Structure 1
Amino acid sequence: MPHPLDNHPILRMNGAGNEILVLDLRRTDHVLAPQEARAIAAAPRLRFDQLMAVHDPVAPGDDAFIRIYNVDGSLSGACGNGARCVAWALAREGKERLSLATDAGRIEARREAETVFTIDMGRPRLDWRAIPLAHEADTRSAPLDPPVSGAPAQFSAVSMGNPHAVFFVDDAMAIPLETIGRRIENHPLFPERANVSFAQILARDDILLRVWERGTGATKACGSAACATLVAAARAGLTERRARVRLPGGDLHIEWRPDDHVMMTGPVEFEFETRLTSSLFEGAAA
């Protein structure tokens, strides 16, 4: 029997270097299982940071419902770079503004230029229970306890639909990201694990950022991390409420508006379209 996704098209894109797959499952009833996401990630040409599975909308007024998968098959609540890629894919059908629902809430997208989109990432969640942390803490500056060797002692906590731990450092490039990123991601303070960011403030409107993503690892870009970092920096008085965030894959422009919504503007790039095959899923373990 062929797999339900045999010969199904899939797009390979990137958002500021963030490696994204867009899998359009509208007009089907297939929900991607974690082992299927892992099998796709294992294909050499399809290795991704996030896979955006696009489903038919479940609420009036929405254009689609999105499930977001990490490399390990786990689900993510938000992916700003991936949302821009989905917006580009759906905009080919003629819509310049889109409403995209996710498990973490609704994302509004609008096209600014041919390959530039702005995403309304919604309001940041700043209460320790909403992030969540394992116990009460001041999310502006919380102690990393127990400490992790090589990491700063304090971090800022923000949720943008997924949990973020933001560390402000003097030299982001000097941080041993591969060594300590996974340890902080799985730190007991974070019951749902965490995305881990190391931010260097270059100016009050300019931030250098490196990110270890929950369930994926070191990435060239992470849109929700850029948003969380700007919010954390503004709360700490280190920046204004608008800044360029420089990531290894490219720049994002983030604004924390007076209405509390965080806006992210950045590029997308279409790389190629291919088709899935039944053989890709053979032996996929649950």
Structure 2
Amino acid sequence: MGIEFTKYHGLGNDFILIDNRTSTEPCLTPEQAVKWCDRHFGIGADGVIFALPDQDGHDYTMRIFNSDGSEPEMCGNGIRCLAKFLVDLEAADANVSSESLLPRSYKIHTLAGVMVPKIEASGQVTVDMGQPHLLAAEIPTTLAVADQKVIAQPLEVAGQTWDVTCVSMGNPHCITFVEDVAAIALETIGPKFEHHAVFPQRTNTEFIEVVRRDYLKMRVWERGAGITLACGTGACAVLVAGVLNDICDRRATIELPGGPLEIEWSELDQRVYMTGPAEMVFAGQSSI
């Protein structure tokens, strides 16, 4: 018997979702996840997400393996897909339509803390991503002393100096603002940022073109996944970095290759809110 799965995507950032509610440990090993994510010999995805039972009084627990087998703390597009998956699972358990359960919110335990996604009646998913972490030790990076922020700090990568701002949304992000985001050779420069010595746990890297204060274009190299069409935590980190550099508003549209996300860094509670879609692609069984 194969393991049942459902594939979802959030703006083209695609994931294999597995109902893992009967066990507190993922039913696949990282090595198996790599095979599942292979786009030629497997199902094909940027990562595998496991819906595990609740932990510490929360609704569910989220674990994720990247396409290279590494385990990130969190994934913004992934948690929107997980929320949709959970609604679909609960609807099937109750023999009702998913739409009849909306709106629906969850408290989901992740390695980055508790995240709260809410699926609206429209199908859009808004996630309370929590407060950003800005100190060098929290990211982590050695670009500054532990208790200082990294804002517009020069960094030498591939013989070029980049001004970078670092933000953690539970996972590390290095953001740099450029004149033309389409001109960045992402496949070449991305790995050099990810594995730079100043990032002891590697980093996600976002290259940003500011079109207006409320509209930014973004391309991303994700730690453990490479070039992807969208990165939810990255979009959140980008807005925070833009505010810190006084080049964008606290609410803006972040345009990714896969489509737009609406991001807000609230002045009231300093929490970051992300709104975007999540869609089912297909379901099946795999014995890989």
TM-score, scaled relative to structure 2: 0.90
Residue from 39, 49, 52 that aligns with 2:49: 52
Q: Counterparts in 2 of 1:223-262, with a 5 A limit?
A: 223-258=232-267, 259-262=269-272
Q: Are the aligned partners of 1:150 and 1:176 in contact in 2 as well (CA < 8 Å)?
A: no
Deviation at 1:50, TM superposition (A): 2.4
**Partner residue of 2:202 out of 178, 193, 206:** 193
Tell me how large the CA RMSD over aligned residues is.
1.5
Map of 1:116 onto structure 2: 124
Measured after TM superposition, the shift of residue 90 of structure 1 is 1.0
Could you say which structure has the greater relative contact order, defined with CA pairs below 8 angstroms and 6 or more residues apart?
A: 1
Query: Which runs of 5 or more structure 1 residues have no equivalent in the other structure?
Result: 1-5, 281-286
Contact 1:160 1:227 in 2 (8 A): yes
TM-score normalised by the chain length of structure 1: 0.90
Q: Which range is displaced more, 192-201 or 37-46? A: 37-46
Change (3 A) 1:152 1:51: farther
The Cα of 1:231 is off from its aligned counterpart by: 0.2
The count of residues paired between Structure 1 and Structure 2 equals 270
- For residues 90-149 of structure 1, the C-alpha deviation after alignment (integer angstroms, 9 at most, x for no partner) is 1232361111110110000111234310011111000000000025254112221xx123
Deviation at 1:7, TM superposition (A): 2.1
Counterpart of 1:46 in 2: which secondary structure? Answer: coil
Separation in 1, partners of 2:113, 2:2:
31
2:186 pairs, out of 177, 181, 184, with 177
Deviation at 1:24, TM superposition (A): 1.4
- 1:20-50 deviation digits (Å, cap 9, x = unpaired): 1111111135423211211211263522112
Runs of 4+ in 1 over 3 A off after TM superposition: none
Q: 2:111 aligns with which of 103, 112, 122?
A: 103
- Within the candidate set 124, 139, 154, 1:143 is matched to 154
Q: Given residue 25 of structure 1, which amino acid in structure 2 is its aligned partner?
A: N
1:14 aligns with 2:9: yes
Shift of the alpha carbon at 1:151?
5.2
The 1:251–1:8 alpha-carbon spacing in structure 2 relative to 1, beyond 3 Å, is same
C-alpha contact 2:39 2:45 (8 A) present in aligned 1 = no
TM-superposition CA deviations, 1:182-240 (whole Å, max 9, x none): 01100001000000100000101000000000011000000000000000001100011
Query: Is the CA contact (8 Å cut-off) linking 2:118 and 2:125 kept in structure 1?
Result: yes
Q: Secondary structure in 2 aligned to 1:75? A: coil
In structure 1, give the amino acid aligned to 2:8: M
Alignment partner, residue 273 of structure 2? 263
CA distance in 1, matches of 2:273, 2:160: 29
Question: Share of identical aligned residues, percent?
Answer: 39
One-letter code aligned to 1:75? E
Cα deviation 1:59-109 (Å, max 9, x = unaligned): 11x111011211111011111111011101112323611111101100001
Distance 1:219-1:9 versus aligned 2 partners, 3 A rule: same
Distance in 2 between the 1:28 and 1:151 partners?
A: 48
The one of 215, 218, 234 aligned to 1:209 = 218
Offset, 1:19: 1.1
Amino acid at match of 1:49: D
Structure 2 counterpart of 1:284: none
